[in-house]
Amino acid sequence: MMDDFPWTGSEKQVARKAFNYAYHSECRKIIDTAKSMIANASAPQDVWEVHDYLTQERRETDEKYRYRYSTLILVFAKLIHEGWLTENDLDGLQTDKLEAIRKYLRFWST
């Protein structure tokens, strides 16, 4: 799914900031989960479970956090849907983009 919205300079700043914020927040959650898992690890299998967890999270975040203007609307919709961002974090984007994001969100909530 590709979008062809033009992005102004100030919108790009808003977008980059929100994107980085969400990525750091999600990684923070991954760090906390891994920390909790490793704190309770004692048997060898426990540490490989931490490894499995990180392998999966790395694959998923690598997949999700791709900063391309052609797919950023969908990425932001997904991040709002998952709770990593709110619409307020995207304050400064033009109405066409916010509307497109809301369209995805409405679609997923039905």
For residue 23, give the 3-state DSSP assignment.
helix
The residue among 6 and 44 lying less far from its own copies, judged by its C-beta, is: 44
Under the criterion CB under 8 A, does residue 55 sit at the interface with its own copies?
A: yes
The residue among 66 and 102 lying less far from its own copies, judged by its C-beta, is: 66
Under the criterion CB under 8 A, does residue 63 sit at the interface with its own copies?
A: no
Nearest to 8 by CA among 77, 106, 93, 79: 93
Q: Token pair of 31, please?
A: 């760090």
The residue among 55 and 86 lying less far from its own copies, judged by its C-beta, is: 55
Q: Token pair of 73, please?
A: 């609307």
Instruction: Answer whether 1's CB lies under 8 Å from 78's CB.
Output: no
What's the CA gap between 38 and 70, in Å, rounded? Answer: 39
Give the number of residues in contact with its own copies, rule: CB under 8 A.
Answer: 22
Alpha carbons within 13 angstroms on the beta-carbon side of residue 90 total 24
Q: Figure out which of the listed residues 46, 91, 96, 99 binds its own copies, where binding follows CB under 8 A.
A: 46
Instruction: Answer whether 78's CB lies under 8 Å from 66's CB.
Output: no
Q: Figure out which of the listed residues 14, 34, 74, 98 binds its own copies, where binding follows CB under 8 A.
A: 34
Residue 52 beta carbon to its own copies: minimum distance, rounded to whole angstroms: 9
Where on the chain is the footprint of its own copies (CB under 8 A)?
23-24, 27-28, 30-31, 34-35, 38-39, 41-44, 46-48, 50-51, 54-55, 58
